[in-house]
Structure formats: C-alpha cells, structure tokens
Amino acid sequence: MQIHASCAARDGIGLLILGAPGAGKSDMVLRLIDRGFILVADDRVIIENGLASPAATLAGLIEVRGLGLLRLPFQAPVRLALAIELTGQAERLPVPLRHPTLGLPLCRLDPRPASAAQRAALALDCALGRVSQAAGAFGVATP
C-alpha cells in the first residue's frame, strides 16, 4: 500500500507522519532528524507487512520549502511502531487510538509548538513501552 505521508526512524523503528498537504509532515521529519532520527520517506510511503519504505523515485529525497528537493541519508525498510497525525490542535488528555487501516497506535499532535518533535519522540517511546503513561494516548482507556 502506498500512502501520502512521511516517515522517520530511530534505531530502525519507524514513526509514520500523517496529515493534510501543507500540515508540516516534511518539517516534522526535519525536526526529528535534528533529534537523532533518520529519513525513511517523504511525501509517499510504501507500507508492506508493517515495514515502511520510500517510493523508489523519491528515495533519499525530502522537500524543504524555500530550498527545494534535498538528498539526505535514509534508511529503509523500517518496522513501523506508531502513526502520528498532524492536526491544528491536539487534545489535552486524548484517549488511546489506533490507525483504522494499519492497526498502529495513533496519536494526534499539533506540529506548530517548538516542542512538537520532542512530543513525537516521546510518543514513539510510549508506543514502544520505554516511557510509561498514567493517562492519555498510551494510558489505560477509561469507559
């Protein structure tokens, strides 16, 4: 399956970034790269058996608005562990969600705050069980 998204990885584990055109997916990948992640794919992600890879014609390319298409190091395939949907406003205490097609844990983040990339990295750590949570997107769902 091919989807309109971007993807970055840390330690070989992928974080799928979803959002409408112009939502900030590529910008989020750039900020994650600054935090030690590596590019997997930008704009189009191919997902097969839980693994993410770039479309062959876009491998290693990322669109940086104001600069153009840049070639960066990339890693693929990577196992997906989390999907993040970029939204205009994130809930304060969200309930646990799963992506309806991929079955991945899903959280919604506002990409505008300076802490957005740190929040995405923490979300990945929560999805992997490296950071525990009492309530929220990775906590126990309450009825």
Lowest mean pLDDT among 11-15, 31-35, 108-112, 139-143: 139-143
Type of residue at 50: G
Residue-level pLDDT at 140:
54
Band (pLDDT 50/70/90 cuts) for residue 132 is: confident
Instruction: Work out the percent of the chain whose per-residue pLDDT is above 70.
Output: 97
Q: What is the mean pLDDT of residues 105-133?
A: 92
CA 46 to CA 12: how far, in whole Å? 16
CA 54 to CA 75: how far, in whole Å? 9
Residue-level pLDDT at 139:
67
Band (pLDDT 50/70/90 cuts) for residue 141 is: very low
Dihedrals φ, ψ of 77, to 5°? -80, 160
pTM for the predicted model, two decimal places: 0.91
Q: Which position has the higher pLDDT, 95 or 65? A: 65
Question: Would strands 2-4 and 44-48 be described as parallel, antiparallel, or unpaired?
Answer: antiparallel
Type of residue at 67: L
